[in-house]
Amino acid sequence: MGRIESKKRLRAVIFLASLGVLWGNASEKTLFLKRKIIFIWVLD
């Protein structure tokens, strides 16, 4: 069960990361914030 959860989390992280990159093109601050949030979320 834990494996499926981590796979879902990994997919979500990749999705959020790519969104962060797209938003970062418009605002570097947004990209930095998203990366920070994702980093904290992954470590949690």
Please write down the long-range contacts of 26-33, taking CB distance under 8 Å and 24 or more positions apart. none
pTM given for the model? 0.43
Q: Which residue has the higher pLDDT, 33 or 5?
A: 5
Look at residue 28 in the predicted model and tell me its pLDDT.
66
Q: Which one-letter amino acid corresponds to residue 43?
A: L
Give me the pLDDT at residue 17, please: 86
Interval 8-44: pLDDT, tens: 898 988 888 888 777 666 666 666 777 888 788 787 6
Secondary structure letter of residue 42 according to DSSP: H
